[in-house]
Amino acid sequence: MKHIFIFALLAFSLAETPLAFAGDSLYYEQRERLANTSIQVLIRHRLCVDENDCHIKQFVLVAGSTGGAVLYVYGISDLHVISEIISASIEEYEKNGNKMGVFVEVYRQKHEDVMGLIRPFFTRPYIKLYLQGEK
């Protein structure tokens, strides 16, 4: 019975996650631009020294979905920084005529604290943004 409960809870938590690691290359350039813009925001706010520092600290991760981009932001709670990243996400969405879906999850916790076996049980995004792409 205990195993069934754990399996059901794991399945539920995965169902909430978009198809972030699908091999969709349709919006590759837009995803890269979104990630780079987000990293530049972090550098401007002195959370990273440079792009390499941001990558090492794992503040921003981007993945493809079946219709756009999924942007994960970790270890950020400053609303000014978050609002700039969200504004950049909305701009990228509008640049593509609202065709590319954009999904943003912002976590206050660091990447290593969010990932792993405890993620579905104890961590939830601080902010979620979903902009549906038009077909």
pLDDT 10s digits, 21-63: 344 467 888 889 999 999 999 999 999 999 999 999 999 999 8
Give the model's confidence band at 105: pLDDT under 50 very low, under 70 low, under 90 confident, else very high. very high
Rounded-to-integer distance, Cα 12 and Cα 31, Å = 27
Q: What value does the mean pLDDT take over residues 100-125?
A: 79
pLDDT of 65: 77
pLDDT number for residue 44: 96
What does the pLDDT average to over 88-108?
A: 90
Confidence class of residue 121 from pLDDT cuts 50, 70 and 90?
Answer: low
- Per residue in 54-92, pLDDT (tens digit) is 999 999 999 887 788 899 999 999 999 999 999 999 998
The domain made up of 19-131 has a fold known as Alpha-Beta Plaits (3.30.70)
Q: Which residue has the tokens 């950020």?
A: 76
Mean pLDDT of 81-106: 92
For the chain, domain boundaries: 19-131
The CA distance from 124 to 135, in Å, is 29
